[in-house]
């Protein structure tokens, strides 16, 4: 039994005992008072009647008439006249039903009121004539006691109701901080750190203080661990001077963009070279040269600020790289970048030179081809001179058909209406090679009888046409249907644009409620960028769907995990580390230390951690000691 129910039971028993005790005491007191009044009335009437009979000088007939007259005019149960020897001379007794009032028979039987007889001696001078015994009827006493009982019970009930109301307010005052503390404990189980207001009750205040201290301590430990992980990330991924990605990590990011199933369809790679870095170092000195490189890195960050899918890196010395993915946001032209570099040198009053080489890329292209194309453009820019710009021509490689938005909308709607959709499967396995779940990205057949295209082909236009919520909903429905058929867990990734649709989550909830068993095997994933940019939407998604058995996690995570505010309050179940984070972990101790620290931080929050995009068997072997729960990627095979 809960504490609140025990308190309510205690209050109810206490009030009931008080009610019964008060009522019982009043009944006993009232009954005693009425019996006393009857006894005194009987004694007084007996004395008065004896005095009247003494005036009759022993004439028995006259005495009998006087007794009859007294009996008829009063409310008596019995009047008995006896001679000196105790023999009954006259006995007047009322019918048993004559004195009954309106009090119920059960009440009369339950409460006994004794009418004590009044006895007086009848004399004629010094001569004893006999005695008279008077017993008044107790019916009026029962009526008085019944009426008083009703009024007393009513008032006690009113007082009991008021006491119950006050008790309810008191219990509510106790229950509110208790519920808050229970909610705080449940939030800890769900990896959310919240504090509660301390109540005025000293005992409850001490409990709340202790819980708040625990929450604050855990939150501090998490933030401290997150800071350490961020430091490890910078050591593993970043150039120590500029803070941009170093060459190895940038190449991993570029490779992930080129090979990602749901990544961008195309993009552009810029190579920026600060010419004659050795000469600049001789002229400016080591410290000023470092400051120049840092300012150049800051310039690249400013130029690409607000552009999604950007990757910046310092390849070596004075060589920098910028990888941009095609999106609705206009991408800066290489000429704009060259002009910004020219202004920077002018503002710094530095006689330096820089050139820019650019090349477009398509998803699926070999990274070596992209880098060779960009390097060739950079070489041509160097040959042309200071602040020159050269762009490689890959128009022949662009086989993507050009269509207007209306045509894309028509084709996408046609594919959805005709259910020309397909979920492909990529296994996620644990340490023992057992299947955890299948990653199931969506593919669409844009033309009847055509090939099923990956998201990289149609995703940008689906976003522009506002159809992502419908596509994601269709993917979830297909996953539920397939789970119901074979029982194999499946994971579906959700677009951040779908979360922005106010009706998307309620529709998913309705589908999940209609298939509760399949919902327990469904994994839903959102990108790390969604948790950073749309945290409230991700938290609401977890709040609405996790109680139905769905597991919700982040994919493509690792770069900005420690910068996601209130990650511990999101209510997630798992995190998948991005391929650019885990690639090469077998041969890079700094990268391995970062992965281990990240896994440790996430596991302390109760989250499972998986590695995605693993393409090297050696990396798989190195990831298990880091503590990951599973891996997926080209090198993963089911046992």
Interatomic CA distance for residues 585 and 623, integer angstroms: 7
Q: What is the pLDDT of residues 518-560, one digit of tens each?
A: 999 999 999 887 777 788 888 889 889 999 999 999 998 877 7
DSSP state of 116: P
For residues 431 and 362, state if they share a domain: no
Residue 216 clears pLDDT 70, i.e. is over it: yes
Q: Are residues 468 and 388 in the same domain?
A: no
Give the C-alpha separation, 534 to 109, whole Å: 77
**E-strand spans in 440-572?**
442-445, 452-453, 490-494, 522-527, 551-557
- What is Dmax (Cα atoms) for the chain? 161
* Cα 205 to Cα 383: distance, rounded to the nearest angstrom: 76
Output 401 or 17, whichever has higher pLDDT: 17
Which segments within 31-107 are labelled E, that is strand? 76-82, 88-93
Lowest mean pLDDT among 116-120, 330-334, 402-406: 402-406
**DSSP string for 379-441:** HHHHHH-TT-EEE---GGG--PPP--HHHHHHHHHHHHHTT-EEE--EEEE-TTS-EEEEE--
b/e map 395-419, b = 16+ CB within 10 Å: eeeeeeeeeeeeebbebbeebbeee
Could you identify the residue written with the tokens 């990831």? Answer: 623
Does residue 399 surpass a pLDDT of 50? no
Pick the last residue of a domain from 135, 162, 189: 162
Residue 186 lies in a domain: no
pLDDT at res. 639: 63
* Structural domains of the chain, count: 3
- Judge residue 635's burial from the number of C-beta atoms within 10 Å of its C-beta, 0-12 exposed, 13-18 middle, 19 or more buried: middle
Instruction: Indicate whether 233 belongs to any domain.
Output: no
Average confidence score pLDDT of the chain = 84
Query: Do 326 and 451 belong to one domain?
Result: no
Domain that holds residue 285: 243-397
Per-residue pLDDT, 506? 93
Shared domain check, 410 and 323: no
Answer yes or no: do 625 and 481 share one domain.
yes
382 and 445 part of one domain: no
State yes or no: pLDDT of 97 exceeds 70.
no
> Same domain, yes or no, for 369 and 417?
no
Integer Cα distance of 613 and 599 in angstroms: 17
Q: Say if residue 141 is in the same domain as residue 289.
A: no
* CATH for 46: 3.30.450
One domain, residues 467 and 536: yes
Beta strands in 519-584 (DSSP E): 522-527, 551-557, 574-577
Confidence of residue 387 (pLDDT cuts 50, 70, 90): confident
Residue 47, C-beta contacts closer than 8 angstroms, at least 6 positions apart: 118, 120
Cβ–Cβ < 8 Å for 421, 446:
no
Give residue 353's region: left, alpha or beta (phi > 0; psi -120 to 50). Answer: beta
- C-beta separation of 526 from 499 below 8 A: yes
pLDDT of residue 401: 47
Residue 351 covered by a domain: yes
pLDDT digits (tens, 9 = 90+) for 415-436: 999 999 999 999 999 999 899 9
Q: Which residue has the higher pLDDT, 360 or 90?
A: 360
Say yes or no to pLDDT of 8 above 50: yes
Domain annotation covers residue 43:
yes
User: Tokens in use for 50?
Assistant: 């004896």
Q: Is residue 280 part of a domain?
A: yes
Q: Please report whether residue 210 resides in a domain.
A: no
* Residue 536: strand, helix, or coil: helix
Any idea what the CATH number is for the domain that residue 428 is in?
A: 3.20.20.450
Specify the pLDDT at position 396: 41
Helix, strand, coil percentages (3-state) for the chain, rounded to 5, are: 55, 20, 25
Helix (H) or strand (E) holding 356: strand 354-362
**598 in the same domain as 531:** yes
Whichever domain contains 261, its CATH number is 3.30.70.270
Q: Summarize the confidence of residues 602-608 as an average pLDDT.
A: 85
Question: Per the domain annotation, does 187 fall within a domain?
Answer: no
Q: Of 128, 162, 196, which marks where a domain is finished?
A: 162
Is residue 196 assigned to a domain? no
Same domain, 448 and 581: yes
* Residue where one domain finishes, among candidates 360, 375, 397: 397
The DSSP 8-state label assigned to residue 546 in this structure reads: G
Task: Identify the pLDDT of residue 398.
Answer: 44
Same domain, yes or no: 424 and 376? no
Q: Is residue 139 scored above 60 in pLDDT? A: yes
């Amino acid at each position: 039994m809960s504490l609140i129910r025990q308190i309510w039971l205690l209050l109810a028993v206490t009030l009931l005992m008080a009610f019964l005790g008060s009522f019982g005491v009043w009944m006993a007191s009232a009954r005693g008072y009425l019996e006393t009044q009857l006894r005194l009335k009987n004694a007084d009437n007996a004395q008065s009647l004896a005095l009247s009979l003494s005036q009759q000088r022993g004439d028995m007939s006259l005495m009998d008439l006087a007794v009859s007259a007294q009996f008829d005019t009063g409310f008596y149960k019995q009047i008995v006249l006896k001679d000196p020897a105790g023999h009954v001379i006259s006995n007047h007794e009322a019918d048993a039903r004559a004195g009954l009032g309106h009090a119920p028979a059960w009440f009369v039987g339950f409460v006994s009121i004794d009418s004590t007889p009044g006895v007086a001696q009848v004399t004629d001078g010094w001569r004893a004539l006999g005695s008279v015994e008077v017993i008044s009827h107790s019916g009026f006493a029962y009526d008085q006691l019944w009426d008083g009982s009703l009024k007393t019970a009513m008032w006690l009930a009113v007082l009991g109701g008021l006491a119950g109301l006050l008790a309810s307010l008191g219990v509510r005052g106790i229950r509110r901080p208790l519920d808050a503390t229970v909610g705080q404990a449940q939030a800890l189980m769900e990896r959310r750190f919240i504090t509660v207001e301390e109540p005025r009750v000293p005992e409850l205040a001490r409990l709340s203080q202790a819980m708040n201290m625990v929450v604050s301590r855990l939150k501090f430990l998490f933030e401290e661990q997150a800071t350490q992980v961020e430091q490890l990330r910078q050591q593993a991924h970043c150039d120590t001077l500029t803070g941009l990605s170093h060459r190895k990590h940038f190449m991993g990011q570029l490779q992930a963009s080129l090979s990602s199933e749901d990544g961008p369809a195309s993009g552009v790679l810029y190579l920026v070279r600060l010419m004659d870095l050795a000469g600049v170092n001789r002229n400016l000195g080591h410290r000023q040269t470092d400051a120049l490189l840092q300012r150049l890195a800051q310039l690249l960050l400013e130029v690409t600020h607000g552009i999604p899918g950007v990757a910046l890196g310092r390849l070596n010395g004075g060589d920098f790289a910028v990888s941009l993915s095609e999106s609705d946001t206009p991408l800066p032209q290489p000429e704009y970048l060259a002009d910004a570099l020219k202004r920077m040198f002018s503002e710094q009053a530095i006689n330096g030179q820089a050139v820019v080489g650019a090349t477009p890329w398509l998803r699926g292209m070999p990274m070596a081809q992209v880098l060779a194309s960009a390097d060739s453009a950079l070489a041509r820019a160097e040959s042309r001179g200071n602040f020159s710009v050269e762009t490689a021509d890959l128009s022949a490689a662009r086989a993507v058909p050009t269509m207007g938005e209306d045509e894309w909308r028509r084709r996408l709607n046609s594919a959805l209406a005709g259910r020309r959709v397909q979920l492909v499967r990529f296994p996620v396995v644990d340490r023992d090679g057992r299947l955890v779940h299948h990653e199931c990205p969506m593919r669409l057949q844009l033309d009847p009888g055509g090939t099923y295209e990956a998201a990289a082909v149609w995703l940008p236009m689906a976003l522009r046409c506002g159809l992502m919520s419908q596509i994601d909903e269709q993917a979830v429905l297909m996953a539920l249907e397939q789970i119901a058929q074979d029982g194999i867990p499946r994971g579906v990734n959700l677009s951040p644009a779908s979360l922005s649709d106010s009706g998307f989550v309620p529709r998913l909830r309705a589908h999940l409620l209609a298939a509760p068993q399949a919902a327990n095997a469904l994994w839903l994933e959102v990108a790390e960028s969604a948790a950073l940019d749309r945290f409230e939407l991700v938290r609401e998604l977890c709040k609405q769907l996790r109680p139905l058995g769905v597991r919700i996690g982040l994919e493509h995570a690792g770069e900005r995990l420690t910068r996601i505010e209130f990650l511990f309050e999101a209510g997630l179940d798992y995190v998948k580390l991005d391929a650019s984070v885990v690639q090469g972990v077998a041969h890079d101790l700094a990268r391995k230390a970062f992965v281990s620290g990240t896994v440790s931080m996430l596991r302390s929050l109760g989250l499972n951690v998986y590695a995605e995009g693993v393409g090297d068997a050696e990396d798989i072997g190195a990831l298990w000691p880091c503590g990951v729960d599973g891996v997926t990627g080209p090198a993963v095979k089911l046992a």
